[in-house]
Amino acid sequence: MSKRYLIPGLAATLSLVAAPAFAAVDPEVVYILNSFSFLVNGALVMFMAAGFAMLESGLVRSKNTATICLKNITLYALAGIMFYAIGYNLMYMDVTGYIGSIMPWSADDAAAVAEKGANFEAGYSSSSDWFFQMVFVATAASIVSGTVAERIKLWPFLIFTVILTSLIYPIQGSWTWGGGWLTKLGFVDFAGSSIVHSVGGWAALTGAIILGARRGKYGPDGSVHPIPGANMTLATIGTFILWLGWFGFNGGSVLALGSAGDVVAMANVFANTNMAAAGGVVMAVVMTQILYKKVDLSMALNGAIGGLVSITAGPDTPTLGSAILIGAVGGAIVVIAVPMLDKLKIDDVVGAIPAHLLCGIWGTLAVPFTNADASFVTQLTGVIAIGAFVIVTSTIAWLAIKFTIGIRASAEDEDMGLDKAELGLEAYPEFGRGAHSI
Amino acid sequence: MKFIMAIIKPFKLDEVREALVSLGIEGMTVTEVKGYGRQKGQTEIYRGAEYEVNFLPKVKIEIAVNADQVERAVEAISNAANTSKIGDGKIFVVDLEKALRIRTGELNDQAL
């Protein structure tokens, strides 16, 4: 049972029932603490947008830096607007099983602020909940941005972002977090290994295939020509910011802070989230040392993300040791899958497909190892259903954009760099040329 | 007058400059360059795939000296830039026809 599908007031009631030994917490205090958790954790998740922007800036060439920064801030803005206009109610309002309602969202907190007879049955302020859910959809959109970087045109990408955040993400999200058919089946995805990360990953995969590889990435004989990123320092700070934001992503997904039980749950989630990332990093560092005789920093960074995505479906139930192992498998998936994608000539600039899609699938399937309420068959059903839905809808969206306004920058613009072609701006006008510019 | 062009490893620049200053050679021009000789390039690895970096970063020093200074200057550069490992670079010496100090109009040896 997804904890996102808590009917108003249930959070407070549940925590009281679950912890009968404690004195009852005043409902207004519960209301305040739950809302506080949504707001602070949501703000942490919002900052993940900065993490994605820095990670992607570091892994593209400097001639595409300004464009990737613009894409990241604009997609974050669009995600919020679309989630207000359509997405939230499509995901959470009167979900029939497969889809919610189509209307803009509006706050309803009259009961809590009534001058006479105020009641706090809602459990939290509605805007705090809206804000917390909104920053998740932005994360899904950020995942796509890195994979298709350096060759997609700006406006077609933004149009895809609108479709993803207003329709694709909310509809599949309603199946689980909106209380739809997957929740009724018993599918468990605590903070969104599948619902957020795999969704972004599937959309990135279809986009990368339809868009094609960057010019020069693959030789006609199948050889791989790596295109090193411009700034590994930025990529590293970006990964650290994502790691920080993930405490809000998973911790806030406890959805309540109104009792000692809630606090214990959130603390466990924080600790497990950290350890899964640690497992992913160490696994990637050790594996690249063994496989390539050199440690690969970009893989270590992807390993952190892979570990974080892996634990996201169930950060509440594992022990710290299990969390390390779940994350370590995520790190291994990244190291194995990155060269495999190159063999398939799928050009993923930042490694989002291994880290978000494949680790998202692994994390979702791993939930039954530590959570007796989850079953492998149900988890697999969710992975396949969400995957099939996003593959079909995102493919239609990408192709529709491709055959109307086009998605790919011209070869000339790609060679010159999208910063000059799309923005008429260089990211580093006062510095020397990059090491690989000859 | 001779014109000396030396291609050296970038981290040797300070030692070479000090050696030349101690000989009384008072000016030089330095350029960051890329190239390869017998060292060829080097192999780097990124995200599991190896690639060749064909042009390695070097520093090019250009100095103009009197004919009687040239052997000591070449020796000084060679000693200072030597690591005994491949990729130390090369020194080229060519005849210099004319030199002129723009500010004063002094010519040749007076201009160095």
CA distance A92 to A43: 21
| Alpha-carbon gap: A224 to the closest alpha carbon of chain B (Å) | 7
Is the domain spanning B2-111 CATH 3.30.70.120? The answer is yes
A-to-B residue pairs, Cβ atoms closer than 8 angstroms = 38
Task: Give the closest of B44, B47, B55 to A298, CB-based.
Answer: B47
Q: Which two tokens stand for residue A104?
A: 């803009």
ipTM above 0.95 for this complex: no
CB-CB neighbors (< 8 A) of A438 in chain B? 34, 55
pTM of this structure: 0.87
Rg of chain B, C-alpha, whole Å: 17
pLDDT given for residue A3 in this prediction: 43
> A292 to chain B: which residues are within 8 Å by CB?
45, 48
Query: Residue B4 has what pLDDT?
Result: 95
Q: Please check the confidence at residue A10 and state whether its pLDDT lies above 70.
A: no
Cα B98 from Cα B15, distance rounded (Å) = 29
Q: Where are the domains of chain B?
A: 2-111
Collect all residues from A whose CB is shorter than 8 A from any CB in B: 224-228, 288, 291-292, 294, 296, 298-299, 335, 338-339, 342, 351, 435, 438
Instruction: Give the tokens for residue A55.
Output: 């990670």
Residue range A267-287, pLDDT digits in tens: 999 999 999 999 999 999 999
A72-125: pLDDT as tens digits: 999 999 999 999 999 999 999 988 889 999 999 998 888 888 888 888 989 999
Asked if A69 contacts A259 with a C-beta cutoff of 8 angstroms, the reply is no
Higher pLDDT, A403 or B85: A403
pLDDT per position as a tens digit, A285-308: 999 999 999 999 999 999 999 999
A134 SS3 class: helix
Q: What does the mean pLDDT of chain A come to?
A: 92
Q: What is the rounded distance in angstroms from the CA atom of residue A14 to the CA atom of residue A16? A: 5
Q: Residue A75: CB partners within 8 Å, gap ≥ 6? A: A138, A141, A142, A145, A157, A158, A161
Q: pLDDT category, A429, cuts 50, 70, 90?
A: confident
Smallest Cα–Cα separation from A353: which of A177, A158, A211, A173?
A211
Task: Report the residue from B34, B44, B47 with minimal CB separation from A299.
Answer: B47
Please, are residues A245 and A184 in contact by the beta-carbon 8 Å criterion? Answer: no
pLDDT digits (tens, 9 = 90+) for A202-251: 999 999 999 999 999 999 888 899 999 999 999 999 999 999 999 999 99
Phi, psi of B38 (to 5 degrees): -65, -25
Q: Do B48 and A435 touch (CB under 8 A)?
A: no
The H or E element that residue A306 is part of is helix A297-311
Helical segments of A180-259, H only: 181-185, 199-211, 232-251
- Sorted by where each starts, the structural domains of chain A and their CATH numbers stand as 22-103+123-213+220-423 (1.10.3430.10)
pLDDT at A425: 87
Q: What average pLDDT does this structure show over B9-28?
A: 92
CA distances from A89 to A175, A177, A212 (A): 13, 12, 35
Tokens of A177: 């977090």
Lowest mean pLDDT segment, chosen from A8-17, A144-153, A317-326: A8-17
Interval A351-406: pLDDT, tens: 999 999 999 999 999 999 999 999 999 999 999 999 999 999 999 999 999 999 99
Which residues of B, range 28-87, sit inside 8 Å of A by Cβ? 34, 44-51, 55, 57
Give yes or no for residue A431 having a pLDDT over 90.
no
* Mean pLDDT for chain B overall: 91
With 0-12 / 13-18 / 19 or more C-beta atoms within 10 angstroms meaning exposed / middle / buried, residue A438 is exposed
Q: Which amino acid is at A327?
A: G
For residue A93, count other CB atoms closer than 10 A to its CB: 14
pLDDT on residue A8: 42
Q: Is B34 in Cβ contact with A224 (below 8 Å)?
A: no
Chain A residue whose CA is closest to B33: A438
In chain A, the percentage of residues whose pLDDT exceeds 90 is 85
Rg of chain A over Cα atoms, rounded to whole angstroms, equals 22
